[in-house]
Every structure is written in structure tokens, then in C-alpha cells.
Copies of this chain bind each other. A is one copy, B any other.
Amino acid sequence: MPQRQGRQTLWLTNHPVISASAGVVGKKEGEGPLGKEFDKVFDDAHLGKDSWEKAESAIHRSAVELALHKAQKRKDDVDLLLAGDLLNQCIGTTFGVMDFGIPFAGLYGACSTMALSLAMAAVLVDSGAAGCAVASTSSHFCSAEKQFRLPLEYGGQRPPQAQWTATAAGAAVLETGREGVDVESVTFGRITDYGVTDANNMGAAMAPAAAGTIADRLTQTGESPDDFDLILTGDLGVVGSKLLLELLKQEHGVDIHRQHADCGIMLFDLDRQDVNSGGSGCGCSGAVVCTNIVRRLRHGELKRVLFVGTGALLSAVSARQGESIPCIAHGVVLKTQVK
């Protein structure tokens, strides 16, 4: 069962593992540096559906189906599916997973959802509450632009600090007693608000939440950045990543520049793909962690990774009302399995 250290960190003692995972992406993401890693690249942004929302549900569904297939699980083997997305009332998830008939707990963590769902699933599997759980999330560039910013047809200009919502989904199957990647510990984040109100600068809004969760964890566990091969943020992009390193150094005296990488920067070729500050969206870290990171951990290329999923908890309404952008970051430590 999970052992708490400090208020936020739980050590999982029954070796929950990601026994299989899958990441699927759109065309642009498939053309990025990680293109070959993904289980499926959908060249048609509509996926044959008549709305962006339905297309997002289709990629979400695809990621879960592929992860189950790779884990050799039937839908009936799964005790609980934990998932969410960015769309209003999480319809990307609901319509994506409803036909599975799997007991379902909806989550809302914005772009931190992959970390939140992984953390929750791992804790529930560790405690025996679920024998097998699935954690998943999705995002779609077109459904997110339409909802949070402007209709695509408007052709609005994107400022340089803006990020590009990935068309992507990730899903992981968690259980015990199988080969895979260990989920060693999790750290639940607190909502952090530095007063950033620019909805085109999510990286700056989310960086303090990531810094807080990393600093909270290191303080509470006594770990140092050197205890990790990689401290991987969800999707701060270039602007947010720079801020994260500065904040950690100035406010907490912690230097992670040797360990840090960011899923939003990894997903795209920033020089070539015109995504400004980098990728974002629930599916960005979802697809990157469920493919590249899990693969490298499986092969021992990476031994111990602190994945910090970051989410901006705004809505279009709160933004229009001039509210700040409260953010959250959840941490999950993934480890190469000792055989």
C-alpha cells in the first residue's frame, strides 16, 4: 500500500507497473522529431468524423484500444479507467471511451491529466483497489483552438510565446506482477497562481506550478535533481521552461538544467514546424510519455524519470472575465524495472 512522505508524495510499495502504453498523434506531430515513436499517425485531422470534438474522441479511443491490445487485455479485464481532457465537460474523453463499458472515473487536470491519471491509477493499483487500471488523455489542435481561442477560419496570428495544442492521445495500462516500467512514487500538486492573465502564455503561467511541485517533492523526500536521469515537464514550451529553471534556482536554490526536458519542446522541431514556443495540450505529454519515455525506460536508456505534468486551469470564461490562470503540476516517478 502507498506510504506517504510529507503531505504530497506517496511511495508505492507493491510495484505497480505500466505494462503497456500507446501514443497516437496527428500529421504534424507525426512529422516531428518523435514521429517514428508513435503507435499511429492520423494524416486526416478529422479522422473521418464531422466535428473536431468527435475527431478528438476518436484519437482518445484509439490510444486506449492500442494500449489494451499491447497489454493483451480485454476491456473486461480493466477495473477502472481514469481519464480526462481539455474540452468543456471532458467530452473528448466521454465519447471516446464510453463504448468500452469500463468503470470510469473522470478527471480534470487540463494538460496535467496524463500525470494526474497515471498517479491516481498507480495509487489505486498499488493499494489493490484496482487490479488493472487505464490512465489516458487526449487533445486536438482544432477543438482546442475553437474552444479556447478563435475559430481556425478566422486565421488569427499567434504571438511568439503561444504554444501549439498537440493533436495527440496517450494511454497506459497499469497493473502489478507484469513486465514494464515501474511507477515508483507520485507527488500530488497544489494549485499555484502567480497572477499571469495572458491566455497566450500558458508556459509562463504553468512554470511556477511545476517549480512548486518539484521543490515540494525534493524538500519532502530529501532527493536531489541528480537522483533523476530526467526531470520532464509536461508542456511548458521554451518560454515556460526557461522560467522554470530560473524560478527553481532563484526561489528554491535548485538547479535542474542538466536533467530537464519538456514534452512540448520534444514533440516538435521548433525551428521548422512553426509552433512558436512548443507543443501543449493533454495529449502532448500523454503521447510523449506513453511512447518515447516508456520505451527508453524499458530499454534502460533512462533509469529514473520525474515526470511533472503541468496544467493551466483556466476557461475561456475566466479568461474573458480577466481572471488569472491558476495552474497545477503533478509528479510521477517512473523507473526501469529491476529484474
Enumerate chain A interface residues (CB-CB to B < 8 A).
1-4, 7-8, 10, 51, 53-54, 76, 79-80, 84, 86-91, 94-95, 97-98, 101-110, 116, 120, 123-124, 126-131, 147, 188-191, 193, 313-318, 321, 323, 326, 328, 330
Query: Closest B-chain residue to A124, C-beta based?
Result: B123
Q: A106: which B residues are within 8 A, CB to CB?
A: 84, 107-109, 116, 313, 328
Query: Closest B-chain residue to A76, C-beta based?
Result: B7
Contacts A105-B107, A116-B106, A129-B2 given; does A89 touch B91 at CB 8 Å: no
Q: Which of A101, A102, A106 has the most CB of B within 10 A?
A: A106
Q: A7: which B residues are within 8 A, CB to CB?
A: 76, 79, 103
Cβ-defined partner of A107 (8 Å) among B54, B107, B128: B107
A217 to chain B, nearest CB (A): 11
Q: A87: which B residues are within 8 A, CB to CB?
A: 315, 317
Cβ-defined partner of A95 (8 Å) among B95, B123, B323: B323
Q: A10: which B residues are within 8 A, CB to CB?
A: 129
A308 to chain B, nearest CB (A): 14
Q: Contact between B98 and A84 (Cβ–Cβ < 8 Å)?
A: no
Q: Which of A102, A123, A315 has the most CB of B within 10 A?
A: A315
Q: Contact between A4 and B127 (Cβ–Cβ < 8 Å)?
A: no
Report Cα–Cα, A95/B313, bound state, in Å. Answer: 9
Q: A120: which B residues are within 8 A, CB to CB?
A: 105, 120
Q: Contact between A101 and B190 (Cβ–Cβ < 8 Å)?
A: yes
Question: Closest 9 interchain pairs by CB?
Answer: A127-B127, A89-B315, A106-B108, A103-B188, A98-B191, A88-B88, A94-B313, A2-B129, A88-B315
Report Cα–Cα, A321/B102, bound state, in Å. Answer: 25
